């Protein structure tokens, strides 16, 4: 009887095992990946020159966790008079990288070597080399190094385009200086755009990445590099489950340009864009929110020459669909300078195709992002309308914003302006695609809204243009 019960139990366990998904029955084996590919991963040590301020008899907290706290409550001890001349000292840091070619080219993150006076590469076999910085690209956070060595182990490059959310990936690096540490996880998302990075559609993973991992490779299960570990999202400075890698296609393009010309050039369209929200899509008569909304066309830019207008919604670029605003900058940036492309836009309820020749992204693109916040004019007959206290924009402020006129929002007192997100200090320059140069013009345009009760309103906020959707109440 006992034997029969055991047989039935064995049958039941076998059936249960066979009924489980394949992923549960066979978890990935990372051992071969770690053993085969770790030799091509390097540790990078850098030295930076810094200055330390002396504080007389008061304890020197500079460079410690207490520095910001001390400054916040006590300020600079003794003021400027209490300080002696700054003293130069060397600051050391660690990062990771991987060997790109047998003759000594190494890929790492730009911030690992940024500002470094000395870069030293440690190989897995304990050989140590001084490295030359061939080139750096802060916008993609990629740097290329060169050491004087040959017949080195290398890593094969794969494709992030074929990567799927949920796929297993592996990172090798030197977190906190612990050489050749291996961590694994899955792809959490693709095409992530971070607030400070416009030209990189990051790969998001839950692989444990910590200080020292930066610049190391992110591998797929075939042992191919599909990204370079670059950033983490953290409120503590350590890993919190969100890490980001630069896709290998971006890395390859940057490395090629750095090797060939020592710098990176990117395509430039010349528009300031924003996300198309559900409310804005409704105000533009669109079925769903999609594309990139043009808030401003920059002067003397390719977009201006091609006839782009504020209020255009870019739907596709060179045959590539633009699902949201964050997708556009990487697509434009990868377009070779001088290329003529077709751009599909929605304007006034119609779909148009514009032809534009892409130019090189200016080095100081920040100068193209709009002017300073205008000084508000002295009160001139302010009036209340749609929950806003408004008054005309004076001529000098209009010249600073490069607009013909507008209305300054002195105060937001009620709906619908409050519900739309209008703020005090905003400058209204367009409504429904028409210029607003006076209170009378605004009232006329609002009266002409008709059945479409939600209208797009172009405002300048802090010197920069942005669209908001304003719902006009029925009488």
**Catalytic one of 96, 174, 214, 283:** 214
Query: Where is 118: in which H helix or E strand?
Result: strand 118-122
* 141 is a catalytic site residue: yes
* 214 is a catalytic site residue: yes
Give the residue from 281, 203, 285, 282 showing the smallest Cα distance to 244. Answer: 203
Task: Classify burial at 469, counting beta carbons within 10 Å of its beta carbon; exposed 0-12, middle 13-18, buried 19 or more.
Answer: buried
User: What is the four-CA torsion angle of 417, 418, 423, 424, rounded to 10 degrees?
Assistant: 80
User: CB-side exposure of 228: number of CA atoms within 13 Å?
Assistant: 33
The pair of three-digit structure tokens given for residue 397, joined into one six-digit string: 């402020």
* 451 is a catalytic site residue: no
Helix ranges (DSSP H) in 28-144: 31-37, 67-74, 110-113
**Catalytic one of 141, 253, 282, 426:** 141
Query: Where is 282: in which H helix or E strand?
Result: helix 278-283
Q: Which residues contact 10 (CB under 8 A, 6 or more apart)?
A: none
DSSP class per residue in 125-173: TS-EEE-EEEEEETTTTEEEEE-S--S-----B--STT--TT-EEEEEE
Task: Classify burial at 284, counting beta carbons within 10 Å of its beta carbon; exposed 0-12, middle 13-18, buried 19 or more.
Answer: buried
Indicate which residues carry an active-site annotation.
111, 141, 214
């Amino acid at each position: 009887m006992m034997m029969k019960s055991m047989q039935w139990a064995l049958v039941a366990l076998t059936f249960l095992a066979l009924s489980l998904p394949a992923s549960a029955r066979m978890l990935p084996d990372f051992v071969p990946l770690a053993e085969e590919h770790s030799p091509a991963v390097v540790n990078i040590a850098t030295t930076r020159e810094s200055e330390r301020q002396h504080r007389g008899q008061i304890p020197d907290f500079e460079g410690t966790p207490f520095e910001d706290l001390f400054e916040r409550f006590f300020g600079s001890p003794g003021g400027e008079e209490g300080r002696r001349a700054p003293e130069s000292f060397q600051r050391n840091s660690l990062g990771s990288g991987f060997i790109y070619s047998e003759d000594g080219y190494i890929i790492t993150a730009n911030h690992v070597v940024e500002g470094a006076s000395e870069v030293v590469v440690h190989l897995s076999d304990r050989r140590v080399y001084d490295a030359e910085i061939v080139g750096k690209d802060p916008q993609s956070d990629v740097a290329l190094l060169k050491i004087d060595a040959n017949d080195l182990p290398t890593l094969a490059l794969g494709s992030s385009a074929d990567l799927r959310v949920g796929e297993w990936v592996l990172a090798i690096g030197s977190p906190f200086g612990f050489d050749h540490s291996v961590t694994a996880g899955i792809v959490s998302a693709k095409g992530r755009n971070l607030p400070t990075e416009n030209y990189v559609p990051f790969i998001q993973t839950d692989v444990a990445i910590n200080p020292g991992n930066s610049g190391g490779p992110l591998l797929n299960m075939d042992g191919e590099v599909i990204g370079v570990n670059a950033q983490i999202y953290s409120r503590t400075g350590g890993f919190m489950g969100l890490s980001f890698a630069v896709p290998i296609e971006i890395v390859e393009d940057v490395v090629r340009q750095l090797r060939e010309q020592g710098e990176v050039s990117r395509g430039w369209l010349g528009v300031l864009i924003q996300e198309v929200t559900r409310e804005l899509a409704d105000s533009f008569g669109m079925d769903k929110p999609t594309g990139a909304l043009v808030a401003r066309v920059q002067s003397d830019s390719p977009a201006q020459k091609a006839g782009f207008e504020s209020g255009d919604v870019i739907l596709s670029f060179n045959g590539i669909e633009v699902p949201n605003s964050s997708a556009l900058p990487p697509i434009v940036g990868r377009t070779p300078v001088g290329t003529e492309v077709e751009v599909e836009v929605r304007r006034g309820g119609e779909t148009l195709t514009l032809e534009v020749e892409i130019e090189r992204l200016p080095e100081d693109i920040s100068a193209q992002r709009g002017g300073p916040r205008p000084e508000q004019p002295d009160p001139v007959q302010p009036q209340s309308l749609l929950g806003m206290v408004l008054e005309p924009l004076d001529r000098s402020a209009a010249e600073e914003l490069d607009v013909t006129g507008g209305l300054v929002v002195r105060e937001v007192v009620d709906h619908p302006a409050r519900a739309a997100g209008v703020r005090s200090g905003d400058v209204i320059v367009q409504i429904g695609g028409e210029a607003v140069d006076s209170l009378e013009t605004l009232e006329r345009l609002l009266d002409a809204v008709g059945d479409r009760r939600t209208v797009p309103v172009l405002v300048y906020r802090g010197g920069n243009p942005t669209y908001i959707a304003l719902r006009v109440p029925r009488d």
